[in-house]
Amino acid sequence: MGPMNGSAFSLAPVPGPAPAPPAALAGKRVRVETMGCRVNRHDAAQLGAALSAMGCLLAEAGAPFDIYLLNTCTVTHQADAEARRRARRARRRCPRARVVLTGCYAEVSPQALLAMPEVDLVVGNHGKADLAARIGALFEPAVGPAPGPAGRSAGGGSVSGAVTRALPDQGGDTRFFLKVQEGCDVACAFCIIPAARGRGRSMPPDDVVDVLIRAHAAGYREAVLAGIHLGGYGEGLGTHLAALVRRVLDETPMPRIRFGSIEPWGLSDAFVELFAAHERLLPFLHVPLQSGSASVLKRMRRPCTPEFYRRRVGRIVAAKPGLTLGADVLTGFPGETAAEFAEGLEFIESLPFSQLHVFPYSRRAGTPAADLPDPVDEAVKRDRVRRLIALSDARRRAALAAQVGTVSHVLVEARGRGHTHNNHPIRLLADPPPPRGRVVAVMVTGVDGDDLLGALAAP
């Protein structure tokens, strides 16, 4: 077990006996839902596993439940509204259930959620390690608070302890998703993540290697290494992402490794060299851009210029044939003029993106950008989003068409679906389809909507 940096890494797998489960949870039906990013999904799967280990039964969608647990997101106001809507709906569906909210919205605005009469317990990201025990306390009036307004509480707490003591639960995924980094120290002006998830911290490399060896032994053939700011992996541990990847390549048998999104300044020369040299590192990268205008990037307080981005990404595209490149783009940031938008669009058009995740800027209280003047008119923002999505759609169609006639190795997921090695969704034309979790060679034969179609090829 290596050292921890700053506060402990909250989801590190720690061997050892599990804490005694609160007896009150035995047999309780819990419905776990999640919103937002893949990291949140992973956290929710772990919370479900922890509750399950305490004797809870996981309820399917539509089934009655005794506990409703929602892992919230706060990336936009729409996400906040959706979380409140889901909490109200849960209360209507099962009036006697305990309604518990956790995640980023719960971390950033606990008072807003506590004000809702439908909500019994609010626990921020920093309290997730103890969440299952806190839920148990809701059912033990002699020990903890009763449900309802008098018993409602917000929880932060220290980032310590382990949610799981086994392999992180994958929520049924065929890929093994491993969060190796949490939090962020960068403080981009629009971003609530440093407030919602705290400072950067990383899973020690020894633990990453150990977990991946065990994941491979359990049958996983593809791992995704992810983090909130993955490029910041290892800060405070005296290491960095490329060193971790080197160890994963040398010390684990995992045949396919993908990466969650990496900020452009996280694409170090050492990482690019490794990424280019090893086929086990699959050719897909998502590198957030946010804006292609130098002045907007500066107001966003991103430690990056468009030219820096072009250099970093250009190097990696040249070094990794067949790479699929994606990016986040945020438009309508306060003060974004027509000229700045046009400059940004031109920059984006000049780069070989296959897909864009486009977001309209939404003011978040508690972020440095919240007080900036010159908000962009909503109709103008919608139009800019529409133009960026049109560009993304055209690029995605072209990228899919370019795959036809190529052979890819595909990890088979549910119902004969999968993703090519460079991360395009594909449907296998095989009846019956190969078993889930197997890697098969596939000839791409065509395109159907947003999917590729493929037939099994000789390995």
> Using CB under 6 A as the criterion, which residues of the chain lie in contact with ligand SF4 when the complex forms?
184, 186-188, 191, 193-194, 228-229, 263
Q: Are the beta carbons of 65 and 349 closer than 8 angstroms?
A: no
CB-wise, 129 or 193, nearer to ligand SF4? 193
CA–CA separation, 283 and 281 (whole Å): 7
Nearer to ligand SF4, 184 or 208 (CB): 184
In the complex with ligand SF4, which residue's Cβ is closer, 98 or 229? 229
For the CB of residue 194, give the shortest distance to ligand SF4 in the complex, in Å: 5
Closer residue to ligand SF4 in complex, CB, 51/188: 188
Integer Cα distance of 280 and 293 in angstroms: 35
The smaller minimum CB distance to ligand SF4, of residues 74 and 252, is found at 74
Give me the least distance between CB of 8 and ligand SF4, in Å please.
20
Helix (H) or strand (E) holding 289: none
Angle (deg, nearest 10), helices 269-277 and 241-251: 30
Contact 257, 280 (CB under 8 A): yes
Q: Which is nearer to ligand SF4, 211 or 330 (CB)?
A: 330
One-letter amino acid at 320 equals K
Selection from 18, 14, 73, 28 nearest residue 50 by Cα: 18
CB-neighbour burial class of residue 276 (10 A; exposed 0-12, middle 13-18, buried 19+) = middle
Nearer to ligand SF4 by Cβ, of 84 and 201: the residue is 201
C-beta of 183: minimal distance to ligand SF4 in Å?
Answer: 8
**Hey, what long-range contacts does 18-23 have (CB within 8 A, 24 or more apart)?**
18/53, 18/165, 19/133, 21/53, 21/54, 21/55, 21/132, 21/136, 22/54, 22/133, 22/136, 22/137, 22/139, 22/140, 23/55
Shortest distance in whole angstroms from residue 330 CB to ligand SF4: 9
Beta-bridge mates of residue 109: none
Q: How far is the CB of 287 from ligand SF4 (least distance, A)?
A: 11
d(CA 375, CA 356): 23
- Tell me how far, at minimum, the Cβ of 195 lies from ligand SF4, in Å: 10
Tell me whether residue 430 is exposed, middle or buried, using C-beta atoms within 10 angstroms of its C-beta: 0 to 12, 13 to 18, 19 or more: middle
Least separation in angstroms between CB 197 and ligand SF4: 8
